[in-house]
Chain A
Amino acid sequence: EPEVTQTPSHQVTQMGQEVILRCVPISNHLYFYWYRQILGQKVEFLVSFYNNEISEKSEIFDDQFSVERPDGSNFTLKIRSTKLEDSAMYFCASKEQGIQETQYFGPGTRLLVL
């Protein structure tokens, strides 16, 4: 069964460094998302992406964050200058065409900022 994959599974970085989290969505999906989950808290929406542009972003998704779909398969989240509070699990999700279809989540990247 097709699934969303994410790399790396774990990332440790120093505060102020840039990180790029990578995702390969399910191949025929057209909508892409990033969510994050701080330890012990709820899953929070960051950004949605469709037709090569951001369709919606949350307050969390400030100028430090950016997303890109550099080729036909990858979908990346870049954090330009990481802060301690960026430490969280970051989940990529994708869905097929159609608003009322479910999102399928990847296994996540655990980011730790020291």
Chain B
Amino acid sequence: AQSVTQPDARVTVSEGASLQLRCKYSYSATPYLFWYVQYPRQGLQLLLKYYSGDPVVQGVNSFEAEFSKSNSSFHLQKASVHWSDSAVYFCALSPPCVCSWQLIFGSGTQLTVMP
């Protein structure tokens, strides 16, 4: 069965610090992988996506993520966070062989950036 695990429910960092949000997936092959961000009272916004090729993908607002097949991981990173990055971050996978492109989400990580 496919699943996504985000082991850290809450992460707090200081403004200007580096950030890593962890994501582990379970799937029999290489899925399509996504990171979404959800600001309060808003829908989900796509940060970045991985389909194939270079395991390091760049996204909006200087976010990047690294895919690791050996570790079944897709961690999100940012070199220097800003207070406006405070939000909930969701990792998701989509099985590439299923025509629905259904998204399977992790439980999310609440990021708080302290000024």
Whether A associates with B in a native complex is: no
Residues of A within 8 A of B (CB): none
